Amino acid sequence: MRSKRPIIRQCKNLAKQHVDNPDEPAAPDGASGFAEWAQIAFILLHAELDKDFRETEAWFNDSRAIREELNIDKSPDHTTLCRW
């Protein structure tokens, strides 16, 4: 299987181009939720993976590449992904 890192990086960069605060951490300390750019990146990745929300959440949590690239410890819950 090919590395997903280039796709993750592309989604991250695209998302950061379309928000007011691209330098905000993906999961700010003391704040609930994720930065706007991170939400957009997750949505783009979900569309790229073409999986249901539970499978997307599992892939995000199992993928060290996405956690490293977005600098997160854990992905959003599948219900959160669905609401976005």
- Contact assessment for residue 24 and residue 49, using Cβ atoms and an 8 Å cutoff: no
CA distance 54 to 36: 21
pLDDT at 76: 86
pLDDT at 66: 85
CA distance 16 to 14: 6
| 10-residue stretch averages of pLDDT, the chain, 84 residues long | 80 94 82 83 91 90 87 85 83
pLDDT at 47: 92
pLDDT at 60: 87
